[in-house]
Chain A
């Protein structure tokens, strides 16, 4: 509520407020949201809090009202959203087009994100989801004179709208079956029957809708376009917040609604989610190597890491989910920080791509990029290291070995691609540092925000007991009967779970290895287009990669075609598997 009120105030008072006052006010609001969320986090630590709007509490197990169902994971998401928006406000001080209206939009987006995390109602989940999308569309196109951002905004809008309609169709089907919109009630009624085609169709549509938001292959084309063209603050929101919330919604909906009827088909759901995650991680990691353009490369890095996060959810067990929680925060913050550090490409004539300094903030900025790359690779003691350790812990047997290998390779490739942004420029740039204005070497607000995000991601890894806490929170998150019981006013005792998280030495070694491999990769980059100037950019990669890259030149229509294809595939696999 607070951000919405302030957003209105900002719009109304925009003629009277100076630019500085506007961003100060916005920052104060998002900081307040962080504070409130943190208080709430302490409050709900013990379990689940339910708030019924207007006092419409359920009678005899029938919930007519609309509820906020607050659990630690949701509050963590809200807290993270507040932090990220604060950082975005600081970074936006650098972007001229960010006027009062853009700040108001940011606040509405924050309100929607918080609502999205806390709501206990499936239809409200959809409404908040659309509200976030609409704000993002407007923010991408905040610079209306740039055709590329217009194109990115259109691409984002059309593809995400289709995704949202899929979610809505899924909701309608579920409502037809259960007569309810409250997550807990739906889950309870669905659990009474085995899964049939209607439930499977609804599940496929809802999952696809949120996968579109999370930019999972083959629904990722919009992110490449939009994140490349959007102003840095908005790109931060897209890769840091929207991705994460899309994945969060999948976990939320699966565990509260579908875990009953689909429990018999656990392996199938697992393999669909993990399969999509693996494909995303590999494709993103390969393609980020061959992108000449810095922001486009970061877009692929973030797609690849969303894939890893989806694998963590796809394990469908508490350990994986705990890993996802930590990974989403640490990795999201790191990716967002990178987008704020990397300089958007200037389209100046007569200059080769790669000859302008690629990052903000001089030496400090460069050091931050290196730190962020280490964070991406999972160097201990970063938060990503802890999360990846949990992720590998969640798998078992052969899967564990394969997953460990995959995480190692993907982390190394993406970290290498990021580090190469620095090294490639230093080696090939020549006069690059001289072109940097002297003033940017000092600490500025955007730089401070980036440092805060990266530092925060590392601090997450050393908070004592974080692993155990998130594990117990994840166990509760996945306990559908307790969730439903609490919401409907029939509390059941939750089975107390307390387990120490002991990762052992292997993930640490993997993290170090990935960082080292990334560094090596950045130094001796196999398909380096900037090393040999005579070769035109894009001619260097081998043929299969070139084919893949070509696919990403398609327009909005192609993207929609891939979306349809992906939906049909996922739907068909689920429908054939569950008979």
Chain B
């Protein structure tokens, strides 16, 4: 189980990076950033996982019951919030981009900077 989770995290990271590098569409590129971030969620939760343990909610369980680590879940939650903010902001930028240029190709205005 554990190795599988780490494998999934690594796979998501690499696939997301591959997508960002090769993307020809800004929305696709932004979603790829989310995919990279998803790998951090999986990793964080996998780090705190203990097989056979219960969720870290201590009402109605016997004292001394083994629970999974709540700290990483809190971290993961914070991470989700950060990720949502970034994705929303990026998509807002992409909407503006589409308004101005009428396309979603990230490389469309590449030569602008060089001309001055």
Q: How large is the interface on B (under 10, 10 to 19, 20 to 34, 35 or more residues)?
A: 35 or more
B36 contact set on A, CB distance < 8 A: 161-162, 165
A127 contact set on B, CB distance < 8 A: 78, 82
How many residue pairs link A and B with beta carbons under 8 A? The number is 129
Is there contact, CB below 8 Å, between A161 and B33?
yes
Whole-angstrom distance from the CB of B96 to the nearest CB of chain A?
Answer: 5
- State which residues 132-167 of A face B: CB under 8 Å: 133-134, 137-138, 141, 144-145, 147-148, 150-151, 153-154, 157-158, 161-162, 164-165
- State which residues 168-184 of A face B: CB under 8 Å: 168-169, 171-173, 175-176, 181
A148 contact set on B, CB distance < 8 A: 109, 112-113
Is there contact, CB below 8 Å, between A553 and B89?
no
- Asked if B8 is at the interface (CB within 8 A of a chain A CB), the reply is no
- Asked if A479 is at the interface (CB within 8 A of a chain B CB), the reply is no
- Asked if B68 is at the interface (CB within 8 A of a chain A CB), the reply is no
* A172: contacting residue among B26, B72, B86, B100, CB under 8 A: B72
Question: Contacting chain B: which of A36-44, A247-255, A556-564?
Answer: A556-564
Q: How far is the CA of A554 from the CA of B22 in the complex (A)?
A: 12
- Asked if A362 is at the interface (CB within 8 A of a chain B CB), the reply is no
Whether A141 touches B78, Cβ cut-off 8 Å, given contacts A150-B100, A557-B29, is no
Is there contact, CB below 8 Å, between B40 and A169?
yes
Whether A165 touches B40, Cβ cut-off 8 Å, given contacts A134-B89, A538-B114, A564-B21, is yes
Is there contact, CB below 8 Å, between B97 and A175?
no
B23 contact set on A, CB distance < 8 A: 557
Is there contact, CB below 8 Å, between A555 and B93?
no
Interface of B is mostly: helix
Is there contact, CB below 8 Å, between B112 and A158?
no
Closest A residue, CB atoms, query B42: A172
Closest B residue, CB atoms, query A176: B47
Is there contact, CB below 8 Å, between B75 and A123?
yes
- Asked if B37 is at the interface (CB within 8 A of a chain A CB), the reply is yes
Q: How far is the CA of A538 from the CA of B40 in the complex (A)?
A: 43
- Asked if A345 is at the interface (CB within 8 A of a chain B CB), the reply is yes
- Asked if A429 is at the interface (CB within 8 A of a chain B CB), the reply is no
Is there contact, CB below 8 Å, between A162 and B106?
no
Is there contact, CB below 8 Å, between B106 and A154?
yes
Closest B residue, CB atoms, query A155: B106
Whether A154 touches B93, Cβ cut-off 8 Å, given contacts A147-B100, A557-B106, is yes
> How would residues 429 to 453 of chain A score, 1 for a CB under 8 Å from any chain B CB and 0 otherwise?
0000000000000000000000000
Is there contact, CB below 8 Å, between B79 and A168?
yes
Is there contact, CB below 8 Å, between B89 and A175?
no
Q: How far is the CA of A560 from the CA of B82 in the complex (A)?
A: 20
Q: How far is the CA of A435 from the CA of B60 in the complex (A)?
A: 79
Whole-angstrom distance from the CB of A350 to the nearest CB of chain B?
Answer: 13
- State which residues 51-89 of B face A: CB under 8 Å: 71-72, 75, 78-79, 82, 85-86, 89
